[in-house]
Amino acid sequence: MTTTTGRNGRTLPTPGAPGGSGGRRPGSAEGRTPGGFPGAVAAEWTKLRSVRAPALCLLAGLAITAVFTFYYASIADINDHPVQPVGNAAAASAVVTQFVFVVLATVAVTSEYTTGTVRASLLWVPRRHRVHAAKALVTAVVAFLGGTGYAVVGTAVAWGAFDGRASFAAGTTLAQVLAVGVYQALVAVLTVGVAFAARHAAGALSILGTLLWALPSVLLGLGGEALTAVNDRLPYGAGDHFMRAGTDAPFSPAAAVLLVAAWAAAAHAAGQYVLRRRDA
């Protein structure tokens, strides 16, 4: 270690020399900090869990799932509907609970633009595609876990409310629970892309509300084979065919989930394009 002698006679390490204050190199064991994509993911997870909004969203979704699935099963029982897989109640509830993850993912992106902290995020992770991908991954994992949890709770609630108007098969039920989780994860990725493109919560929620609920409602309300075919290729229309069982679908579950994934990929690409092209 190189040293110098100060005015008071003390021996001091030379700055920049090994052991001195400037001796930590970026790749040294002492100065190493998580970086790259894993570091970006860790940062996004810390941001998400450090605020109350995500937890409140998830709790609200749990309550909505219980109410919706009980109502769905009760109506099927009262109206003497044909026996159907019990998991269909949880699958049907996704039309409402998907907006829990839409709000969660939208806030995760747009809150940083509102407060200006997005600049700090991009300084710490200058490769912008990593910030975008990290947010998409973290919110997708949360949505998958939340979606599967909702599906389990919804299936349990609906089983009693169906009162014999539902069938239970372990394989089918497990597949539907996982399908709900996958759909909600893709919705989260779709939302992150739209939110990065819009940069404002109101704009993002308007686009997503139209795409995931308003437009399908109008198309199904107007009816007709052509409009129904269009709805089947929208995110929720395709997702509904993926999640439900025992219904006549225009295409296979695999094709349905690929359609939802294509929508998510398109939104992801649009969000990355805007993030790279525009100043924060």
Q: Read off the pLDDT band of 2 (50, 70, 90).
A: very low
Average pLDDT, the chain: 88
pLDDT at 16 over 60: no
Q: What are phi and psi of 166, to 5 degrees?
A: -140, 155
pLDDT at 195 over 70: yes
Q: Read off the pLDDT band of 15 (50, 70, 90).
A: very low
Q: How many CB atoms neighbour CB 66 within 10 A?
A: 17
Instruction: Kindly provide the b/e burial profile for residues 135-169, where b requires at least 16 CB atoms within 10 angstroms of the residue's own CB.
Output: bbbbbbebbbebbbbbbbbbbebbbebbeebbbee
pLDDT at 26 over 50: no
pLDDT at 6 over 60: no
Picking from 114-128, 186-200, 245-259, which range would have the lowest pLDDT averaged per residue?
114-128
Q: What is the mean pLDDT of residues 186-198?
A: 97
Residue pLDDT, tens place only, 200-222:
999 999 999 999 999 999 999 99
How far is it, in rounded angstroms, from Cα 14 to Cα 1? 8
Q: What is the mean pLDDT of residues 68-97?
A: 94
H helix runs in the chain, sequence order: 36-49, 53-78, 87-115, 118-124, 128-162, 170-198, 201-209, 215-222, 225-232, 235-243, 253-277
Q: Read off the pLDDT band of 31 (50, 70, 90).
A: very low
Q: What is the mean pLDDT of residues 236-263?
A: 94
**Which two structure tokens, joined as six digits, stand for 31?**
């100065």
CA-only gyration radius of the chain, Å? 25
Q: What pLDDT does residue 122 have?
A: 82
Q: What pLDDT does residue 125 have?
A: 80
Q: What is the mean pLDDT of residues 25-50?
A: 71
How far is it, in rounded angstroms, from Cα 275 to Cα 109? 11
pLDDT at 235 over 70: yes
Q: Contact 87/177 with Cβ under 8 angstroms?
A: yes
- If you average pLDDT over each of 48-52, 237-241, 276-280, which comes out highest? 237-241
- State percent of the chain over pLDDT 90: 68
Residue pLDDT, tens place only, 122-165:
888 878 888 999 999 999 999 999 999 999 999 999 999 998 88
pLDDT at 55 over 70: yes
Q: What pLDDT does residue 10 have?
A: 52
Q: What pLDDT does residue 272 have?
A: 93
How far is it, in rounded angstroms, from Cα 252 to Cα 74? 29
